[in-house]
Structure 1
């Protein structure tokens, strides 16, 4: 793509030009800009391109893996039929804040030259829900991309008020009257510094403005339950989403009605002005109790979008709602937004497995082809499927077994057929299972593979590995501590507690550079796995104290626990993955069928790479796809 400068509306500040992780320089503002009260008109530089498909970003469940972001693409120009990308595996994860990602929102910039992705900084898997609305995050997690494939560095940006207890479900809408993005999210506000006394409004929607998703104006209340006749004020509202159509803004929010609705449900409003607040009276109520009237259970997390021209589903508008206690997203659809909207609960739709609160983005035919080509090049084909189709040797009860894209799977555990590709253990102790899987292509060809798997009991505790971002050379979280392997363990209540008071557990060996001189080394992206004999392992990217990865031949480091004392680890050394383009987010899985380790990673071009290794301690090699 030819580099070009995008001139955003003039606001009396000079441009800064810097090099980022994108293919060309980005142009950013040199200072924060106060946008409140701005009246200058500024139209988008580029009109929205004609959509020919859709991209969907979402999270899946209240687990550590589920609170990472996944992507799917529509099967043609049809908002009801979907295919996962990256075999349904996560594509973005957080290394900041709570390290959990929920409620992702994606949008195209007003100029059309990039995409912004926002997400809630919340990990229910690690911290539970007890203090989530009182002492939750006041930050947003933000990424940018120019092609929807390669994403820049995560930005952990504080946007909220000190009085706010949380910052949930962020979204943004471009307002051409001020040439800026209106960003809104859910917060509960408190009267005291300890966040013990609420302001009486319950959860409400706050709003701020930005032009670059780096600096934001001070947030102000935008919409609260007190603005809606018949709403239960103390229960407040959550999860506002906005759809623009023919010059009008349609807002959908979850509220609790005092009567006439069996549960909290979705409210629909319309206004000619985006930024006017709820007390102004300009937001007219169109509909309420939308989910229940359409036949859903209690839902939340709405996302609304206008159908592409020629969408083959036959509908013009979509409102997806999250059945958070059940299957996840349910698509509702209609052909008119006038009066009391007649929402249809379609019978024929195919969404990714267990999708939770996210957003759908209209994309062009060229964008669809580029995304599909990228992920098709990293999807296993032919003989590769046999090597990459692996079930880990230790699984939590309730784990859904892997099924490669383009295949149907049937499973048998100890000779008994499994339902829904889920392996469970209702016993009080772990049990060993002989697992047989058969994959079938659409053309009828099949392949089979058998694994030996230890299935943990439902009460098994969960262990997670991570590294931190240093805050300063003289802080407790200085580089040598932050860039070590940290471990966190779940308790009886399911909440995760960092071991060693979050000061790190495993430290990489340094490199001797001379007499009494050592160049310190740290780790990034540590990942847990099990060795063939059941010992616990950690694989990670080896970096220096500034965060720069090692050269390829020493870029991956392996740790192994003592089989008798799981808390005692030793560093086995480095693994040469022979990746000229770098190593990030390495993972290892013991394949009990092939009796080899499958090692996968992401290179510097965001390409998925993999190989198999006979012995991680000796690094014997059989290179299959690098």
Structure 2
């Protein structure tokens, strides 16, 4: 079986709700659902290469733009299963017709995938600030897995469809229907083409249902569509997509603003980049443009999750309830899958993921020599700071000398390569900037006349 299952979902932003056309997905009728979505929340579980950062529980992150994410609750769980395997993968968040939320997840803990399970985990939530009514629902009586749930409203049935990955002799998508996410109809095969499939994400836009899935036979992602959303009614209309060495768990999401769409895919291996993304102005076409990793930053260690559009009030409520992280990461501008980390007391950039993952976490504190500037304190080695020594950047304990405080202080300015990013000028050598060279950090003289590559080396996203 393939590795981790993940399914992303989203809520299409509508300026007002009208009566749905036949088969269209509605957002609901509560005041929260009626308000325009201006931000996004991301639910996921976590894995790292050596398993030290694994967490098979529900985590949340938020983003105003749906591209750059900040974990909530210090990237600790907000809900953990207490039955079945007592772990989850592939959490899926759906806003129901009444504007509240339901969370579905695979009942599976860890990385052993030959354990068949007939159940899904389920929680109810009015606002994703609390989770109640925890239960498991039995989807079938077959000797097969129940992976990567997605759900959507089917107006013609006045019910929700729950679609998930299973096996009936080959890998197919199955579906059950429900009104309350407590009792479900008998399972049925939902999508079974001439090849093995996995990980559907289904979005209704107007009267058309779009389903993106993984073709297991060739490892690519495809889009299919249907005018009814009924079982076995989909026709594939796109060519195959992949970024990186491998990909699965496609997510299709309509932007909160404008008519654009994004498609996400999970690398499914915790030793590779977690996510890749595409954009398109026409979901019904066959034209997806790969986004530069410079344009997006997934939540730290996030795997196989789901995205939902939320209102400004809901965003503020989530931040108030769970809190934004007390640490930041520094992402390289010209190597956007690389992050600043310490290793053997030296500072460098390395491609993420890596372990210990905490080596890339920094407390951005008032400058030790000038409170108007900044200093970088290590999260996993508190009291140790990035400082320059003979122009090389090291992680050293603060000895509280004036020289150390000056060496560890940097003035944050607009990015030399991109003003929406950041650059950091040395406090005591103000013609020199923090930059990477051969992946190692140092301070070097830079100016407006410096080469484009030098300016890029000195530009970072604080996320």
Report the TM range for the smaller structure's normalisation. 0.5 to 0.7
Partner of 1:65: 54
Q: Does 1:174 align with 2:122?
A: no
Q: Does 1:221 align with 2:189?
A: yes
Aligned 8 A contact 1:41 1:178 in 2: no
**Residues 444-453 or 81-90, more deviating:** 444-453
Aligned 8 A contact 2:197 2:216 in 1: yes
User: In structure 1, which of residues 316, 319, 339 is the aligned counterpart of residue 263 of structure 2?
Assistant: 319
Partner of 1:328: 274
What is the CA–CA distance in structure 1 between the aligned matches of 2:213 and 2:69, rounded to whole Å?
25
Deviation at 1:163, TM superposition (A): 2.2
Q: Does 1:157 align with 2:137?
A: yes
Name the SS of the counterpart of 2:322 in structure 1. Answer: helix
From the superposition, tell whether residues 219 and 417 of structure 1 become closer, same or farther in structure 2 (CA, over 3 Å). Answer: same
What is the CA–CA distance in structure 2 between the aligned matches of 1:91 and 1:217, rounded to whole Å?
30
TM-score for both structures, normalised by structure 1: 0.49
Aligned 8 A contact 1:334 1:344 in 2: no
User: In structure 2, which of residues 210, 221, 238 is the aligned counterpart of residue 287 of structure 1?
Assistant: 238
Please list, as runs of the form range in 1=range in 2, the aligned pairs for 1:606-621 lying within 5 A after superposition. none
Aligned 8 A contact 2:342 2:360 in 1: yes
Aligned 8 A contact 1:286 1:341 in 2: no
Partner of 2:203: 243
User: In structure 1, which of residues 90, 97, 109 is the aligned counterpart of residue 84 of structure 2?
Assistant: 97
From the superposition, tell whether residues 357 and 147 of structure 1 become closer, same or farther in structure 2 (CA, over 3 Å). Answer: same
Aligned 8 A contact 1:406 1:441 in 2: no
From the superposition, tell whether residues 42 and 140 of structure 1 become closer, same or farther in structure 2 (CA, over 3 Å). Answer: closer
Aligned 8 A contact 2:328 2:363 in 1: no
From the superposition, tell whether residues 419 and 220 of structure 1 become closer, same or farther in structure 2 (CA, over 3 Å). Answer: same
Aligned 8 A contact 1:407 1:441 in 2: no
Q: Which structure exhibits the higher relative contact order, with contacts defined as CA atoms closer than 8 Å and separated by 6 or more residues?
A: 2
Q: Does 1:352 align with 2:299?
A: yes
Name the SS of the counterpart of 1:154 in structure 2. Answer: strand
User: In structure 2, which of residues 89, 97, 107 is the aligned counterpart of residue 110 of structure 1?
Assistant: 97
How many aligned positions are there?
Answer: 336
Aligned 8 A contact 2:72 2:322 in 1: yes
Partner of 2:403: none
Partner of 2:164: 185
Partner of 1:439: 363
Partner of 2:4: none
Name the SS of the counterpart of 1:58 in structure 2. Answer: strand
What is the CA–CA distance in structure 1 between the aligned matches of 2:58 and 2:24, rounded to whole Å?
36
Deviation at 1:407, TM superposition (A): 7.1
Partner of 2:326: 404
Please list, as runs of the form range in 1=range in 2, the aligned pairs for 1:419-568 lying within 5 A after superposition. 439-441=363-365, 444-446=373-375, 448=377
Partner of 1:371: 318
Deviation at 1:404, TM superposition (A): 2.8
Mind listing any 5+ residue stretches in structure 2 that lack a counterpart? 1-21, 331-338, 367-371, 383-463
What is the CA–CA distance in structure 1 between the aligned matches of 2:247 and 2:328, rounded to whole Å?
31
Aligned 8 A contact 2:24 2:204 in 1: no
Partner of 1:120: 106
Partner of 1:342: 288
What is the CA–CA distance in structure 2 between the aligned matches of 1:336 and 1:411, rounded to whole Å?
39
Partner of 1:229: none
Aligned 8 A contact 1:167 1:187 in 2: yes
What is the CA–CA distance in structure 1 between the aligned matches of 2:380 and 2:304, rounded to whole Å?
34
Q: Does 1:254 align with 2:214?
A: yes
What is the CA–CA distance in structure 2 between the aligned matches of 1:248 and 1:437, rounded to whole Å?
43
Partner of 1:87: 74
**Residues 177-186 or 44-53, more deviating:** 44-53
Partner of 2:253: 305
Deviation at 1:414, TM superposition (A): 5.9
Aligned 8 A contact 1:169 1:186 in 2: yes
From the superposition, tell whether residues 40 and 375 of structure 1 become closer, same or farther in structure 2 (CA, over 3 Å). Answer: closer
What is the CA–CA distance in structure 2 between the aligned matches of 1:251 and 1:437, rounded to whole Å?
37
Deviation at 1:301, TM superposition (A): 0.8
From the superposition, tell whether residues 451 and 405 of structure 1 become closer, same or farther in structure 2 (CA, over 3 Å). Answer: closer
Aligned 8 A contact 2:264 2:277 in 1: yes
Aligned 8 A contact 1:71 1:88 in 2: yes
From the superposition, tell whether residues 176 and 439 of structure 1 become closer, same or farther in structure 2 (CA, over 3 Å). Answer: same
Partner of 2:5: none
Deviation at 1:153, TM superposition (A): 3.7
Q: Does 1:265 align with 2:194?
A: no
From the superposition, tell whether residues 206 and 449 of structure 1 become closer, same or farther in structure 2 (CA, over 3 Å). Answer: closer
Aligned 8 A contact 1:142 1:157 in 2: yes
Aligned 8 A contact 1:42 1:179 in 2: no
What is the CA–CA distance in structure 2 between the aligned matches of 1:355 and 1:104, rounded to whole Å?
11
What is the CA–CA distance in structure 2 between the aligned matches of 1:43 and 1:451, rounded to whole Å?
46
What is the CA–CA distance in structure 1 between the aligned matches of 2:216 and 2:58, rounded to whole Å?
29
Aligned 8 A contact 2:118 2:142 in 1: no
Aligned 8 A contact 2:150 2:163 in 1: yes
What is the CA–CA distance in structure 2 between the aligned matches of 1:375 and 1:342, rounded to whole Å?
35
From the superposition, tell whether residues 72 and 302 of structure 1 become closer, same or farther in structure 2 (CA, over 3 Å). Answer: same
From the superposition, tell whether residues 155 and 330 of structure 1 become closer, same or farther in structure 2 (CA, over 3 Å). Answer: same
Please tell me the root mean square deviation across aligned C-alpha atoms, in Å. Answer: 3.3
From the superposition, tell whether residues 410 and 340 of structure 1 become closer, same or farther in structure 2 (CA, over 3 Å). Answer: closer
Mind listing any 5+ residue stretches in structure 1 that lack a counterpart? 1-38, 190-198, 227-232, 258-262, 380-402, 425-434, 454-626
Partner of 1:46: 29
For the pair shown, which has the larger CA radius of gyration, 1 or 2? 1
Aligned 8 A contact 1:412 1:437 in 2: no
